[in-house]
Structure 1
Amino acid sequence: MKRSQIDPKFPLAVNGVYETTAYADLSSVDNLETCSGGYSSIPSFDPVETTDAKSTNFCSKKRTSRRPWTIKDADMECISRSMEHVWKKTILPILESFVDMEPLRDPRIAYWIEELTQTHENLMLLQGSPQKQISESCSSLNRVCENSEWVPLRESWIFTLWKSESIKALLEAQNFRCSGCGIRVEKEYLKRVNIFYICFFFMQISRYCDYYGKVFCQCCHQGSKSTIPARILHTWNFNEFPVCDLASHFLTEVHDVPAIHINHVAPHIIEKVRVLKNVIMLREKLSYMWDFIKNCPDAEHTVTKYGNLRTLFTSLEHHILHSLDLFSLSDLIRVHNKDMGSLLEPIVYYARCHIETCKHCRQFAATCAYCEDAQEVLFPFQLEKVYKCSKCASLSHLKCQAKFRRKVSNQTGCKKCLRVHKDK
């Protein structure tokens, strides 16, 4: 006989004890009392004298056959209710107590916490969705964690221009798994893809991300589109292409972050795109002009058509004046639309007019290191006619520097650098 009692402290556990033979091992009673923590609700072990040895729940049986594991409708509903119970009783109170302990100062963290508290709505099964379809999809598609066949992607800058390949080749390279979540496509789908349903498979089962160059499932790729940094830097293409949700989130977050050094990533694009080359030249002029404007007391009181001259410089972003080849995605879009050029040209014009006529600014002008013509002063922002030595920072005419280079072809630098080198 089996005696069962419900422990009020553990309502989901049933304390069942079987009556066994007289020669049963009484040491198991001590183990049972020790594991139970000494609760009085657990019935004592009463041995009964009998000659029939009955099987107990402590004995293990070997299964003769194994049935495939299937998910029934009742099981799915039970899982859904248990997930909701665990979330409301355990996880949600922990998050709320964490927020109540100390107010969150960073609005981004507060937004993440609020978004996390609403995550259980996405984890629960939809009431309107048929449970039969969910069980069938679970049998055909298997989600896996990080293993040797699949490694989750990370949010990072990618400047590689991917080659166009077929969906079949990409799936084979990905071990027939989604690059975002690791969901696996079974052979039944692949047979249909290879024969008849390539277009249907591409639209309904998998989607291509132009940023990562990989295939994603519909859950990880909901059809978002964005400009691709690699296409901008290599082909100057600003069209929007399909990207996965991970790439869409990352590109949105870093849209205004200056992180693209064009001279390191794609130096060839500067010579090919005239508008980009013009903007880089304007930024170089502004960087030289700022050295004069920030030290000139008259520049603070100089008013132009667009406002105070020094304010025009301080209103610009820091990387525009101090990093010539550093751009963000929004900067490149403004360059393509010619908005940045129209913004910088008036500032360059008014700053040049002020510096060339200001008595205080002209004190820092230089003469040519070759011809030493005192009638003409040179400024470093006069890129059309002035050469600035990269070693000693001396200024000279471009034509004078060209004559010197023809005479001394095996030396680097300028005439002043050569004279210093000979003195050593």
Structure 2
Amino acid sequence: MEDINLLLLCCCLACLIFRSSLDPDSNSAEVTAQKLYRAFRKRWLQTETDIQLSSCLNATKKTFVNQETIPKEFESSVNLAEEIKVKSRLRGTIDWAPPRFQIVFNIHPSLKRDAVVAAQNFSCAGCGTPVELSKRLRYCDYLGKYFCDCCHSHAQSSIPKYYVSNFSKHLLCSIWHNPIFNVSCVNKTLYTKAKELNRAREIQEQLLHIKKLLKSCRFAESVLKEFEQVSSHLTTELHLFSMDDLVKIKQGLLVPLLKDILKSSISHVENCELCQVKGFICEFCQSSDVLFPFQTAICKRCTVCKACFHKQCFQSRECPKCLRIAARKMFSEAASETGLL
């Protein structure tokens, strides 16, 4: 009996595939899934009912069907239909696609409600439910689309400051601590507009250099533990911030913490003999001052050899270390040509 049912189901499946290949309008996955569901449900209900009927007849010699099993079977078939419906909504349909996970950096242009809703095929951007009155839809300032009241609960977020949909709220909360905002790439003018952000960048640059120095010092374990108070990306890559960092900078919480870490780090370098021998001496003025890359206020670093000099001494002058390296290279090449080496 089971082999016959399996054979019949395979035949139904083959017929559906053959019909789909002939009908160009039925090539979508949803149409095929619905046809398969109807065929399987019809054959499955008939088969299970026949089995229950035959078992009841053999057991009690009465002509009745177990009424308790059919509602359960029907309920399971309804659950299967709901599952197909939910999965199609997650994947989208021909006329509608669910919102995708994307990071929006630009402000959406102000467009008329009717034009945006028409572009959405007069359906909710979150669930695809068709709507007749566009005034009932709610606008999401993050995605720039309209949602129904089930997909939009008037939630607010620091970015973009206004009301966002439930999907956008969940998206923004999931990336809250992720360092995905490179200010130099997003908008370079933000540093001039936000003084606290620019101050955070200056301290971040100093911490980036001094952390490399402390990692090479075996006496700096206690100082390096203080860096764990902030996210690691703040002291490893310049201009990189998360939404949590930006909000803390706005609230005035992050900059004082970075200052304290920098202060203790500088104190260690000034009193550590091992760190002092890793500094630089300005070759222009031959001063006894020990220079470090994190001293951005007085120190200028060569972009080629990474040597440090006083800013006043390095103004539009060639790096002496680079000149020595170039002269040594020329001497080596000339010596190899003449056969001296």
TM-score range, shorter chain: 0.5 to 0.7
Match of 1:214 in 2: 145
**Counterpart check, 1:276 vs 2:217:** no
SS at match of 2:162: strand
Superposition pairs of residues 109-128 of structure 1, within 5 angstroms: none
**Could you report, residue by residue, the CA deviation over 1:129-186 in whole angstroms, capped at 9, with x for unpaired residues?**
xxxxxxxxxxxxxx99834532221122111211222212221332322211222233
- CA change 1:295–1:246 in 2 (3 A) is same
Alpha-carbon shift at residue 36 of structure 1 (Å): 7.3
**Could you report, residue by residue, the CA deviation over 1:224-246 in whole angstroms, capped at 9, with x for unpaired residues?**
11121xx5xxxxxxxx3111111
Amino acid corresponding to residue 151 of structure 2 in structure 1: C
Alpha-carbon shift at residue 89 of structure 1 (Å): 8.5
**Counterpart check, 1:346 vs 2:273:** no
Match of 2:310 in 1: 397
SS at match of 2:312: helix
TM-score, reference length from structure 2: 0.67
Runs of 5+ in structure 1 lacking a partner?
A: 1-34, 43-80, 92-118, 124-142, 191-200, 232-239, 301-307, 409-413
Q: Could you tell me how far apart the structure 1 residues matched to 2:74 and 2:298 are?
A: 73
CA contact (8 A) 1:145 1:182 kept: no
Q: Could you tell me how far apart the structure 2 residues matched to 1:250 and 1:257 are?
A: 12
Superposition pairs of residues 294-305 of structure 1, within 5 angstroms: 294-300=215-221
1:154 alignment partner, one of 91, 100, 105: 100
Amino acid corresponding to residue 174 of structure 1 in structure 2: Q
Note the aligned Cα RMSD (angstroms).
3.4
Alpha-carbon shift at residue 82 of structure 1 (Å): 7.9
**Counterpart check, 1:285 vs 2:211:** no
Q: Could you tell me how far apart the structure 2 residues matched to 1:250 and 1:83 are?
A: 39
Superposition pairs of residues 12-411 of structure 1, within 5 angstroms: 85-86=75-76, 146-186=92-132, 189=133, 201=135, 205-228=136-159, 231=160, 240-300=161-221, 308-371=222-285, 373-404=286-317
Match of 2:321 in 1: 416
Amino acid corresponding to residue 319 of structure 1 in structure 2: H
- CA change 1:355–1:167 in 2 (3 A) is same
Q: Could you tell me how far apart the structure 1 residues matched to 2:125 and 2:186 are?
A: 26
Higher helix share: 2
Identity of aligned residues (%): 29
Runs of 5+ in structure 2 lacking a partner?
A: 1-45, 55-70, 331-341
CA contact (8 A) 2:282 2:291 kept: yes
Match of 2:40 in 1: none
TM-score, reference length from structure 1: 0.55
Larger radius of gyration: 1
- CA change 1:369–1:343 in 2 (3 A) is same
- CA change 1:390–1:403 in 2 (3 A) is closer
Q: Could you tell me how far apart the structure 2 residues matched to 1:402 and 1:83 are?
A: 85
Which stretches of structure 1, 4 residues or longer, exceed 6 Å deviation after superposition? 39-42, 81-84, 87-91
CA contact (8 A) 2:90 2:98 kept: no
- CA change 1:218–1:418 in 2 (3 A) is farther
Match of 2:37 in 1: none
Alpha-carbon shift at residue 415 of structure 1 (Å): 4.2
Q: Could you tell me how far apart the structure 1 residues matched to 2:168 and 2:119 are?
A: 20
- CA change 1:326–1:87 in 2 (3 A) is farther
